[in-house]
Structure 1
Amino acid sequence: MDNFRTLSPRIADYVYAPRVYWNLSTSRLLTMEYMEAAQVNDLKSIQRLGIQPSDVVNLVSETFAEMMFKHGFVHCDPHAANLLVRPLPSGRRSIFGNPFISIVIFYVSC
């Protein structure tokens, strides 16, 4: 998240890594914050949330481009269980300028 805040501030509010509970984790078990969200490949759930699938595609593409070309650190396990989508808190504008549809992408496994 520090990389997004410092190197990619334009999208930093739209990318989220769940909190790690280090006191409940071991060298073999990572315990993270639970997130209610739709998997990135679950079109019907994304649409039920009022999110445009094209906004998800744009944000995922931009996020990975930022990681590859600016950060030099890339999420290397981007399957559907590790990329989740949810609406931002109401009233916030999306990165695409739409006042009604905002999204956050969770990087559950980093």
Structure 2
Amino acid sequence: MELTGYLQFVAALALVLALIGALTWLIKRSGVAGSLMPAATRKGEARRLGVVEVLPLDPRRKLVLVRCDDREHLLLLHQGPAPDLVVAATAAPQAVPDFDEALERAR
């Protein structure tokens, strides 16, 4: 391949990358990206769902503690034909103040 073929390839690649960059910038500027992204990844929005703890029971089963808003759900997840189970659903415990806050309140 001659030098002009390589230059043509590099120019086409640069054009495609520039078009992808311009399209990305346009989507972000138009505000369409906010409706396409999940709520957890948007700026300024708090996460409502989170995994608190995972406890493997054996290679096929595990207990997962999931927090959603002010409730915690204990799920028994396993591989196989039987469905997964919600073992318990309770109110989430209140956050424990850190040592500095407790010391300030004690004074």
Q: Taking structure 2 as the reference length, what is the TM-score of the superposition? A: 0.21
User: Which structure shows the bigger proportion of residues in strand conformation?
Assistant: 2
User: Which structure shows the bigger proportion of residues in helix conformation?
Assistant: 2
Q: Which has the larger radius of gyration?
A: 2
Q: Taking structure 1 as the reference length, what is the TM-score of the superposition? A: 0.21
